[in-house]
Amino acid sequence: MAVTARKGSQFRAAVLFLIPASIGFVVFFAWPAVRGLFLSFTDYNLLRPPVFVGFENYIKIWSDPVFWNSLRVTLEYVVINVGVQTAAALVLAVLMQRFTRTMVVRGVIMLPYLIANVIVALVWYWLADYNLGIINAALDFFGIHKIGFFGNQNIAMVTIAMVNVWRHLGYTSLLLFAGLQAIPRDVYEAAEVDGAGEWRVFRSVTLPLLRPVLAFVLVVTVVGSFQVFDTIAVTTKGGPVDATRAINYYIYQRAFERLDFGYASALAVILMIILAGVALLQNKLLRANESDLER
Partner 1 sequence: MAILALKTTRRARSTSLESDPALAKSKVSIFFGRLALLIVILITLFPIYWMFRTAFSNNRAMFGEPLNLLPVDFTFGPLRRVLGLSTTAEALAEGGSGASINFAQYMLNSIMTCTLITVLQVTFSAMAAYAFALLNWRGRDKVFSVFLIALMVPGIFTLLPNFILVKDAGLLNTIVGIALPSMFMTPFAIFFLRQFFLGVNRSIIEAAVIDGANLWRIFRTIVVPLAWPQIITLAILQFIQYWNDYLWPFLIGQTEQSKLLTVGLGIFKSQTPQGNPDWAGLMAGALVSAVPIFILLLVFGRRIVGSIQSSGVK
* Binders in 20-39 for partner 1, by CB under 8 A: 20-25, 27-33, 35-36, 39
Question: Alpha helices, DSSP H only, in the chain?
Answer: 2-25, 31-39, 56-62, 65-99, 103-114, 117-127, 134-141, 156-181, 185-193, 198-201, 207-226, 230-234, 247-252, 261-286
Q: x/- contact string, 68-107, with partner 1 (CB under 8 A)?
A: -----------------------xx--xxxxxxx-x-xxx
Among the listed residues 73, 157, 246, 255, the single contact to partner 1 using CB under 8 A: 255
Instruction: Tell me how far, at minimum, the Cβ of 55 lies from partner 1, in Å.
Output: 18
Of 274, 245, 269, 273, the residue nearest 257 (C-alpha) = 245
150 binds partner 1 (CB under 8 A): no
The Cα 240–Cα 230 span in angstroms is: 16
Q: Indicate whether 160 belongs to the interface with partner 1 (CB under 8 A).
A: no
Q: Does residue 174 bind partner 1 (CB under 8 A)? A: yes
Of the candidate residues 213, 218, 228, 246, the single one contacting partner 1 (CB under 8 A): 213
Among 51, 79, 87, 138, the residue binding partner 1 under the rule CB under 8 A is: 138
CA distance 33 to 140: 51
Q: Which is nearer to partner 1, 9 or 290 (CB)?
A: 9
List the one residue from 41, 67, 77, 177 that touches partner 1 (CB under 8 A): 177
Using the rule CB under 8 A, is 251 a contact of partner 1? yes
Work out whether strand 42-43 and strand 51-52 pair parallel, antiparallel, or are unpaired. Answer: antiparallel
Q: Which of 90, 157, 159, 170 binds partner 1 (CB under 8 A)?
A: 170
Q: Which of 127, 144, 241, 281 binds partner 1 (CB under 8 A)?
A: 127
Which segment (53-61, 68-76, 133-141, 146-154) binds partner 1 by CB under 8 A? 133-141
In whole angstroms, what is the distance from residue 194 CA to residue 107 CA?
A: 34
Residues 283/222, Cβ–Cβ less than 8 Å:
no
With contact defined as beta carbons under 8 Å apart, do 250 and 257 qualify?
no
The three-class DSSP label of residue 43 is strand
Residue 119 beta carbon to partner 1: minimum distance, rounded to whole angstroms? 5
In the list 41, 67, 124, 150, the residue contacting partner 1 (rule: CB under 8 A) is 124
Of 5, 54, 154, 185, the one binding partner 1 (CB under 8 A) is 185
N- to C-terminal Cα distance for the chain?
A: 48
Under rule CB under 8 A, residue 259 binds partner 1:
no
Closest alpha carbon to 261 in 25, 119, 51: 51
14 binding partner 1? (CB under 8 A): yes
